[in-house]
A and B are shown apart, each in its own frame.
Chain A
Amino acid sequence: MLFRVVEHKWWYFLVSGIVIVPGLVFLLLGGLKPGIEFKGGTLLDVTFREAPTASAVHDVMASLGHEEAIVQRAEGGRLLIRTEQLTPEEEVKAERALEEKFGQDVERSSQTVSPSFSGELVTNAFRAVVAASTLIVLLIAFAFRQFGWGAFRYGIAAIVAVLHDAFLVLGIFAILGYFLNVEVDSLFVTAILTIIGFSVHDTIVVFDRIRENLKLSAGEALNPIINFSVMQTMVRSLITSFTTLLPLLALYAFGGYSVRNFALALLLGITAGTYSSIFNAAQVVSLWQELEDKWRGRGRGPRPAAA
């Protein structure tokens, strides 16, 4: 079995495009909804034995002066109520009112973030992403330092693959946010950074193999070597991702409501990371080489005539 992974690169790029572009559209439409951590406010998470309707809960909140409350029903009698920042007194008052109306609640949790602090959290998240990206680029540069100037294209290709994975997850969460009000929190940012790390590590394994094969067969054309290297590492890539996806699937299915979106982001990102390391990363290197050859070819073309 030998796929022509390099020759068909445009098809693979197309597949990526088809999956990513719709997400990008919703990203631009503002589909990515910040959770209360990133915009401030209060999230009440109340579970009743019998869940009342969202509108009934909203009425109670409105009667307490929290007209802005957004009520969402989750499984098992669970209700998520999002409001502007509540003081502890207001919070307890709201809970008492809900209890009075809908009966004793079973359990609850709440989270409040002041708007000024959420600004700080956004800055922190942003900083973490920038720092992680910078360090990852340095790590890639270090891994391919022996390639000399050629390392540059490998670094760029690895970064393209990482961006591919990050934007795929961002896009899908933008779609989920747009239609289902799924919000992103610091755990989501954590997931993205983990995906970046994972994706880079997948890509490095492929590139490492290319490096080894280039050394073994100096003077060969690049594309067949890439093809062969990708094939050699493909089983490993698929299995590694698969063994990572297995526990994540368990986490998604059984880990409970609070980690479900986190597990989903990781599932999507790691799947994307596997795809991009097999079907995108090395192909970008190949494309770079082809463009360079073409450019050199043209550059050389007129010269003899001029001479």
Chain B
Amino acid sequence: MRRLLALIVSIVLVAAAPVLRAQNPLTATLSVSATVTARAKLTLSSASMTFPDADPDTVPLVPASGGALTITAKGRTMLGTTVTLVVLASSDLQSGLDTIAANQLAWTATGAGFVGGTMNRTTAQTVGSWVSSGQWIGTQSYALTNSWNYSTGTYTTTLTYTLTAP
């Protein structure tokens, strides 16, 4: 009787067993990674600019003869970190022993994140700042404060731009 019961159970099990069809669909996975490191790139539309001679009474602010300087800044940084662009004069404007203070040079700016400012030869001044990675285009329009006090001469200095994407 017990064996008969076992037989019945076996038949029921066979009848109830699921039919395993070939697996369809089949899947396979691929792990994908991408590495992005910090980098920065800065482009200025001109390597030099000139302020022509002018009458201080009629032209109190002498604009650069080449027009606005176009700046393209590109930076990759951590999410939420600030990318900064600063400028620093290497010295006052110099012509032999004569000088025009670097802070007589000022600029206005256009473009998202770009700001106006006044030149300094000791402390780098902010030209622009942006949060997280990206690329930004703006302009700087320089003007030199004119004065009867300036001695005649051809004055020069070097402006150094530094773009930092930490």
Do A and B bind? no
B interface list, Cβ under 8 A from A = none
A interface list, Cβ under 8 A from B = none
